[in-house]
């Protein structure tokens, strides 16, 4: 099974990378703008796509959409149509986007559409709604010019799914009316120790000091069909308050949803906490609820405030994030609470 931490070849990135041994709460004086921060080391290439717009004094909203589209175009395990399927062998995509005016749009359980983040933006701009799901989201996408793609799994996804079927002994949709149990469920971690959930979330501030954010994912591999995590939920996987800051998350979405995680991070920043400390407080909220359970899962938060300061915190070691501004282009390891 491929390492979900390395699903982009970083050697393709020409900018210099400096990996820190631990994360920092950068203490830059004044405002660092423009700037974009994103989850995981794969965020370096995502940031580069967003930076093309930010460096030209473009809008943060356009930048985060461009970054998310870049990742959706990559054939990897975790984002886009190349991602791992649910337990019935179907790839379903979740995405959301939010701008500086608290306008937001989202899609969940979307099938056969290459760029869910752009569909989410269409929901935001062309409807009075915030979120569309399943067949309705797909219908809306087609009506707005998006093309239905093939249902065939990518080579990596097909291989991983076949192995999972053997191990779980799951038989999709056979005598479904007679089933007395709902399992097997998706594992929190794979056999190689990597968490089963690598979302691409990014938040940015443009030259006009305005914030926006976007999230895109294929969700938890081998999930129950119809499962939706935190990624498309405003206030869970993403939240933007243009007066205070923005936050995104990656990890076991159910735990983020329970505490309205990114909204909580922004509220902690409103109280005066740094982005890193705000993320830490949110992580502590998850762990306090069920410390035993927390040892068996991963959640990481990433935040950016109006001063251009950023920070992250995770339950366990392993969460990293990427930063691009006029001053730096780096990957940082997040601090963590347990293990």
Whether residue 201 contacts residue 38, with contact meaning beta carbons closer than 8 Å, is answered with yes
**Three-state secondary structure call for residue 293:** helix
Estimate to the nearest angstrom the gap between the alpha carbon of 115 and the chain centroid.
Answer: 14
CA dist., res. 100 & res. 112, Å (int): 30
Please list, in sequence order, all residues whose beta carbon lies within 8 angstroms of the beta carbon of residue 260, skipping any fewer than 6 positions away. Answer: 235, 236
Q: What is the mean pLDDT of residues 320-334?
A: 97
Confidence tier at 180 by pLDDT (50, 70, 90): low
Instruction: Report the predicted TM-score, pTM, of the whole model to 2 decimal places.
Output: 0.89
pLDDT digits (tens, 9 = 90+) for 36-56: 999 999 999 999 999 999 999
CB 108 within 8 A of CB 232: yes
Catalytic residue, candidates 32, 39, 194, 199: 199
Among this protein's residues, is 199 annotated catalytic?
yes
pLDDT of 10 over the 80 cut: no
Q: Which residue did the predictor score with more confidence, 148 or 188?
A: 148
**Average pLDDT estimate for 290-318:** 95
Question: What phi, psi does 311 have (nearest 5°)?
Answer: -175, 165
> What average pLDDT does the chain have?
88
- pLDDT for residue 1 is more than 70: no
Q: Tell whether the model's pLDDT for residue 22 goes beyond 60.
A: no
Other Cβ atoms closer than 10 A to 242? 18
When pLDDT is cut at 50, 70 and 90, the band that residue 31 belongs to is: low
pLDDT by residue (tens digit) across 48-100?
999 999 999 999 999 999 999 999 999 777 899 999 999 999 999 999 999 99
Higher pLDDT, 330 or 8: 330
Task: Tell me the CB-side half-sphere exposure of residue 245, using CA atoms within 13 A.
Answer: 34
Predicted local confidence at residue 13, as pLDDT = 41
Phi-psi domain of 210 (left: phi exceeds 0; alpha: psi -120 through 50; beta: other): beta
Please choose, from the candidates 8, 17, 31, 47, the residue with its C-alpha nearest in 3D space to the C-alpha of residue 214: 47
- Count Cβ atoms below 10 Å from residue 21 Cβ, excluding itself: 6
Q: Decide: residue 256, CB within 10 A, 0-12 exposed, 13-18 middle, 19+ buried.
A: buried
Span 134-162, mean pLDDT? 96
Output the pLDDT for position 222.
92
Task: Using the structure block, give the residue that is written with the tokens 């591999």.
Answer: 221
């Amino acid at each position: 099974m491929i390492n979900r931490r390395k699903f982009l070849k970083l050697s393709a990135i020409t900018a210099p990378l400096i990996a820190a041994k631990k994360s920092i709460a950068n203490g830059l004086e004044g405002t660092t703008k423009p700037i974009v921060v994103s989850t995981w080391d794969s965020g370096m290439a995502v940031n580069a796509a967003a930076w093309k717009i930010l460096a030209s004094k473009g809008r943060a909203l356009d930048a985060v959409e461009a970054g998310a589209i870049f990742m959706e175009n990559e054939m990897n395990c975790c984002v886009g149509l190349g991602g791992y399927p649910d337990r019935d062998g179907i790839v379903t995509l979740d995405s959301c986007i939010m701008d500086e005016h608290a306008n937001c749009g989202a899609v969940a359980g979307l099938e056969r559409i290459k760029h869910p983040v752009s569909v989410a933006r269409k929901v935001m701009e062309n409807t009075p709604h915030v979120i569309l799901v399943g067949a309705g989201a797909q219908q809306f996408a087609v009506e707005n010019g998006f093309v239905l793609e093939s249902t065939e799994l990518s080579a990596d996804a097909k291989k991983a799914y076949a192995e999972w079927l053997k191990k779980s002994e799951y038989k999709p949709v056979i005598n479904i009316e007679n089933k007395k149990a709902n399992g097997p469920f998706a594992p929190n971690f794979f056999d190689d120790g990597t968490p089963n959930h690598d979302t691409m979330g990014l938040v940015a501030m443009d030259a006009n000091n305005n914030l926006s954010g976007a999230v895109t994912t294929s969700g938890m591999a081998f999930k129950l069909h119809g499962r939706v995590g935190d990624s498309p939920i405003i206030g869970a996987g993403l939240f933007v308050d243009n007066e205070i800051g923005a936050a995104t998350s990656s990890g076991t979405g159910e735990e983020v949803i329970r505490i309205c995680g990114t909204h909580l991070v922004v509220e902690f920043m409103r109280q005066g906490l740094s982005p890193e400390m705000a993320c830490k407080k949110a992580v502590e909220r998850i762990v306090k609820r069920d410390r035993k359970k927390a040892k068996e899962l991963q959640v990481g938060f990433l935040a950016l405030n109006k001063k251009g300061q950023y920070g992250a915190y995770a339950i366990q070691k392993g969460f990293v994030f990427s930063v691009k501004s006029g001053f730096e282009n780096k990957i940082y390891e997040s601090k963590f609470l347990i293990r």
